[in-house]
Amino acid sequence: MIPTSFPAKDEIARLTAGMLLEIDAISFNARDPFTHASGKKAPTYVDCRKLISFPRIRSTLMDFLSVTVMREAGFEAFDNIAGGETAGIPFGALVAERLALPMTYVRKKPKGYGRNARIEGVMTEGQRVLLVEDLTTDGGSKLSFVDAIRDTGATCSATAVIFYYGIFDGVEQSLADHGVQLIHLCTWWDVLAEARARKAYDSETLDTVEEYLRNPKAWTPTA
Domains of the chain: 9-214 (3.40.50.2020)
User: 183 exposed, middle or buried (CB, 10 Å; 0-12, 13-18, 19+)?
Assistant: buried
pLDDT in tens, 58-77: 999 999 999 999 999 999 99
Handedness of CA 89, 175, 189, 219 (dihedral sign): positive
Query: Tens of pLDDT along 111-135?
Result: 766 566 899 999 999 999 999 999 9
pLDDT at 111: 73
CA distance 215 to 5: 37
Q: What is the mean pLDDT of residues 155-184?
A: 96
Strand order across the 103-106 sheet: 119-120, 103-106, 80-84, 128-136, 155-164, 181-187
